[in-house]
Structure 1
Amino acid sequence: MRSLQFLVAGTLLAGQAAAAPQIPNFTQQQIDSGYAIRELSRIAYENAMARVAKSTSGCTLETVRVRKEWRNMTLTDRKAYQEAVQCLMQKPSRNKGIDGARSAWDDYGVLHYFQTPYVHNSATFLYWHRHLNWVLEQDLRDLCGYTGTVSFWEWGLDCGGLGTVETSPLFDGSEYSIGSNGAKVSRPGGGFGMPAGTGGGCLLSGPFSNFTVNLGPNTARNPLKYNPRCIKRDLNTNLCSSAASLRNTTDVILLSPNLEIFQAIVQGDTRWPEGVRAGMSVHGGGHFSISGDPGGDFYFSSLEPGFYFHHGNIDRLHFIWQNLDWENRQTISGTNTMFNRPPTPEAVPSDIMGYEPINRNVTIGQTIDTVGGTPLCYVYAPW
């Protein structure tokens, strides 16, 4: 599948050559330590903010939102985010006639369930999930009075010899986390042929330890039927270290000459040799470093609060990659079905991505630029 280059305001005319991006050379030690990804993040952030300063789209230096890594948010902001999510879990569902959808939070599980065959290993994987986090941010603001932004989780800071997922500020079970690991459950594996993590049972402590999962699992006879149960996690530092380390994260950016390869490496898409070499990939690695129920459920993983931090980091990698060479990286690659099954036409900017009944539908083209102003207007801060 080929990448599709198209014209938007401020891009090069078709056929006009663009200067190669000035990306520093890094040593392996600089990559493994996180120095390289911090430097790439800084360059991308500065390039994006320079575009904001010149923009006429409505996204300005005064209105642009700056998303931060969870550990770089103030404790007050972390608490406000938790409370806004808990508020959303108390608001009524907007889905009519779906038995298991009891809250506005459940709506995200329903949406992801129906959209999964179209927004994974497809042209819309990066863009649909990018906009999903934006939709959540709007819900938290409009329904629950939240004034901050969604955050992201830099997986590599909590594995690869730098720490553990279990002691991450995101999952350590403290007052300012999103809850702990699950209780230890003895079993031979963690599902999907992967080694088990260090938990597997209901959350032991912290925010969301009393959270009820209402939908799924996907293997149920009727996955959308009301099925209340505790949230479970199975944190897995070993898996994180092998698939979502700072080396993995940085390689996604440095080894991707175009969007086609970027998507393949991020998802471990075996249709490309680069995807095969990525193995579990950072997408799978981040998901299954959390795992559990519903975090390990391909269809209902959006009901796990950690889902949005994980996909925030996927979006951040895309943001960095795009803004290192903005003129050439406003692209779409692939079709609108998973693995192109059934076969569908190559995606174009005017193709619609669905979010109803949570939010209005948008085109792919509207989500390509995070500072495009229609509607996106945010950047990722270097950590």
Structure 2
Amino acid sequence: MDRALGLACSLQFLGLAGAMIPLPCASHAHVWAGECCPVFWGDGSPCGAATGRGRCQGVAGPGAPAGSDFRARWPSYFFRRLCACRGNYGGADCGECRHGWQGGSCQLRHVVLRRELASMSPGQRLAFVRSLDLAKRTLSRRYAIYASVNATPGAPLAFRRATVYNVAAYLHYLGSKTVGTPRGPNYAHRGPSFLTWHRMLNVHLEQEIRNITGDPSFFVANWAWQGRAACDVCTQQLFGASRPDGRLYPGSVFSSWRSYCTNDGPFTGNMSVICPLGNEMPITRLNGWNWDIPRSVFRGFPSWQDYYACLNLSQYDTPPYDANSRFSFRCALEGFIDPLSPADWGIHMHNAVHVLCGGTLLFSHQAANDPLFTSLHANVDKIFEYWRRRNPRSRYPRGQVPIGHGANDYLAGFIPVYTNEELFQHSVHFGYDYEYT
């Protein structure tokens, strides 16, 4: 059930790892030196130090034991020194603005309204679809990934270029690899950071698409799935309609998409193999469910009653801070407990949507390959943001949380680095808001 929901430079001295690495730092020398402080083009100095934008500074990852799983020591497994940007400057080299700011000196507040697909005009929806497709076809000019050269366990690792969208799919794939047991937490699911980690993934993709389109107003559109009877955005004009076999009908731009990081074979759930090339598969979506699941644990698409019951849970998360947390807003929204009966396990809210859409979205390690993932999770984030505003005194948990889910843990895979507690702020801190009706 966990799986279903839930430059080529070999650096063998690092063991088994993978990461989203800024292109200027994608070299043996940078990783060997443990430093990623790129030169800002505007003044020719590392981190823009000459013009006061930032400085190269030590950064310590969590004190996890040494091992092959880089996520336990992010980012110090790769880099012990990164750019620390001052004021409203941001980016890996401090050469851009922090999320939510713009202008020559990053002095102007910039907050974009993420709109619901249902309220957008046909032209606006088409522009959104075309921007996602452009991201799938455009090589990232900012990041490389670090992956196995083939599907043999323990094969050498190498830097590799990837498209803007595939970098994001790769990040989610890494976050979905389990820790310890197949049903245990991982770095992006089954724990408190489910909402913070996925928040940053969409913020990252949003910014990357703005960079390649030159449109600072681009936003990840929201699909409000509560109260639906079926996937009403799975049309040829939006995310593509499905054939009986799950493949998307020709005519949708997404019918030509191929999934990324789907060649792990039996090693999907561990770090022995990291995103080797090959075996890229078409996007599939079943839009239905024919497994014999008792109605007591699975009612189909979340209802408005489920939605309001979830919002009415006052505790962000509860011990043991995993898929077994009861009376937990996070666990209810993620979908492991019934919002209407929060002491009972079930398949609800976010998890139910993944299950009902099926196909590529059914398996957590490959789910982000379906472009529908972006808008599905924008709605998860909107519900999270609405709950935060209804519970202004809530705090991110500081108990015995799973590894990677701590308040001060850095979100695995992201440079610049962010902690879970930072992502627990209101969305306007990251340059976006939502329509609330």
- The two structures have a TM-score, normalised by structure 1, of 0.66
Residue 217 (structure 1) shift: 5.8
Aligned to 1:305: 371
Distance 1:68 1:304, change over 3 A: same
Residue 75 (structure 1) shift: 2.3
Residue 244 of structure 2 corresponds to residue 179 of structure 1: no
Residue 63 (structure 1) shift: 2.3
Aligned to 1:248: 306
1:146-295, aligned counterparts within 5 Å? 146=215, 147-159=217-229, 164-165=230-231, 168=232, 170-174=233-237, 177-181=238-242, 183-185=243-245, 200-216=246-262, 219=265, 224-236=276-288, 242-260=300-318, 261-269=328-336, 275=342, 277=344, 279-292=346-359, 294-295=360-361
Residue 420 of structure 2 corresponds to residue 364 of structure 1: yes
Residue 203 of structure 2 corresponds to residue 134 of structure 1: yes
Distance 2:426 2:374 in 1: 16
Kept after mapping to 2: 8 A contact 1:66/1:379: yes
Where relative contact order (Cα < 8 A, 6+ residues apart) is larger, the structure is: 1
1:36-115, aligned counterparts within 5 Å? 63-92=110-139, 94-98=144-148, 102-115=162-175
Distance 1:352 1:249 in 2: 30
Q: Per the alignment, in what secondary structure is the counterpart of residue 379 of structure 1?
A: strand
Distance 1:96 1:259, change over 3 A: closer
Q: Per the alignment, in what secondary structure is the counterpart of residue 89 of structure 1?
A: helix
The structure carrying a bigger helix percent of its residues is 1
Structure 1 unaligned residues grouped into runs of 5+: 1-56, 186-199, 338-343
Aligned to 1:8: none
Residue 155 (structure 1) shift: 0.9
Residue 232 (structure 1) shift: 0.9
Q: Which amino acid aligns with 2:234?
A: F
Residue 431 of structure 2 corresponds to residue 377 of structure 1: yes
Distance 1:270 1:88 in 2: 35
Q: Which amino acid aligns with 1:242?
A: G
Distance 1:115 1:354 in 2: 7
Q: Which amino acid aligns with 1:105?
A: Y
Aligned to 2:50: none
Query: CA offsets, 1:278-334, max 9 Å, x none?
Result: 510212111122211x211111111110111111111111111110131x1243366
Structure 2 unaligned residues grouped into runs of 5+: 1-99, 151-159, 177-185, 268-272, 319-327
From the CA coordinates, give the structure whose radius of gyration is larger: 2
Residue 99 (structure 1) shift: 5.4
The structure carrying a bigger strand percent of its residues is 2
Question: RMSD of the alignment, in Å?
Answer: 3.3
Kept after mapping to 1: 8 A contact 2:135/2:209: yes
Query: CA offsets, 1:203-225, max 9 Å, x none?
Result: 45423122122431664566633
Distance 1:345 1:234, change over 3 A: closer
